[in-house]
Structure 1
Amino acid sequence: MKKLSVLFAAVMMFMSFGVAKAQKIATVDVAAILNMMPEKIKADEQLKAFSTAKQAELEKLATAFQADVQKYQQEGAKLTAQQREAKEAELGKTQQNLQQMSQTAQKDLLDRQDAAYAPIEKRLNDAITRAAKANGWDFIFDSATNGLIYKAGPDATAAVKKELGI
């Protein structure tokens, strides 16, 4: 009976050793890597140029609208009631068009951002996967997120950069 107990204890110890295998965890600074990727830098520049162009266009139209409003305020007293109603309706329509153009520009910018960043994020995720497999990491956490409570594992940032060639 004693031999059976010893054998049972040995088997349980052996099994628990396999179950208790330490999981390898690493962290990576995703934002830092993204900001170093040439294609992300290029995409940021293109998106900034697009945004600046749209903003300049909207500002030009808004300035013209403001000039029309000021002109109406100065000359409104000289107009008949019917002319004033027509001018106010025209100004209201112009204001609505400006707001719609602004919303459209914002949506266009977001669509362009999504289209530009999707392949960049895929490339980064693929590199993280390759680095994790190459180094035997079971989990990799983004070190910049607030969800990370404990950070003592190896840092995967260098390995991911190596996979990306940066």
Structure 2
Amino acid sequence: MKQLKTLVITALLFIGTQTFAQQKIAHIDVQALMTTMPEMKTAQDQVRKIQETYDKEYKGMVAEYQTKLQKYDQEAATVGDAVNETRSKEMQDMGARIQKYEQDARKTLGDKELELIKPIMEKAQKAIQKVAKAKGVTYVLDATSGSGVLFAEGGIDLLADVKKELGF
């Protein structure tokens, strides 16, 4: 009985390894693909322009804050406590508005970047799938550095074929 059990387990392992050995595995550096796509460069330029606009506005707000703060500090000794208290409250409110603007700008910029990159990622994914199917590949691993693929030598590298499929 024990020998029969061992024989069945051995047979299952053999069949499992044979099935896996028949699978074609390929890899692609998705990051390299994405950074070379013309659409990605266009999206990055759009994000950069939006960021420059936000940076300019933010710097203007900070400059105005600093100018008022200097003025109020210089005049603090000559004006009354009520005026100083009002000015202090004004500066706190202005500081809070600047912080909120910075947070909102970061969120909006991140959302815009995702909005621009999502269709590019989908296009790359479709091209990878099309090339993989054409080559009879069952699994495609992301060979981007730090993606969890520890070793990818040999096998099928789809990067050149996917670039060709995308027209560049």
| TM-score (norm. length: structure 1) | 0.87
**Cα deviation, residue 18, structure 1:** 6.0
User: How many Å apart are 1:149 and its aligned residue?
Assistant: 1.8
Tell me whether 1:40 sits opposite 2:40 in the alignment: yes
User: What's the RMSD between the two structures over aligned residues?
Assistant: 1.6
Summarize the alignment of residues 11-50 of structure 1 with structure 2, pairs less than 5 Å apart.
16=15, 19=19, 21-50=21-50
User: Residues of 1 paired with 2:26 and 2:56: CA distance?
Assistant: 45
Moved more, 47-56 or 23-32: 23-32
Q: C-alpha separation between the residues in 2 aligned to 1:145 and 1:128? A: 18
Q: Please, which of 149, 153, 156 is the counterpart of residue 154 of structure 1?
A: 156
2:142/2:149 contact within 8 Å kept = yes
* Secondary structure, counterpart of 1:78 in structure 2: coil
Question: Which residue identity does 1:106 align to in structure 2?
Answer: R
Gap runs ≥5 in structure 2:
1-10
Aligned-residue identity in percent:
31
Aligned residue pairs total: 153
3-state SS, counterpart of residue 22 of structure 2: coil
Shift in alpha-carbon separation, 1:29–1:96, aligned structure 2, 3 A: same
Aligned to 2:136: 136
Amino acid at match of 2:164: K
Is the contact made by 2:30 and 2:142 (CA closer than 8 Å) also made in structure 1?
A: yes
Stretches of structure 1 lacking an aligned partner (at least 5 in a row): 1-11
Q: 1:97 to 1:116 in 2, by over 3 A?
A: same
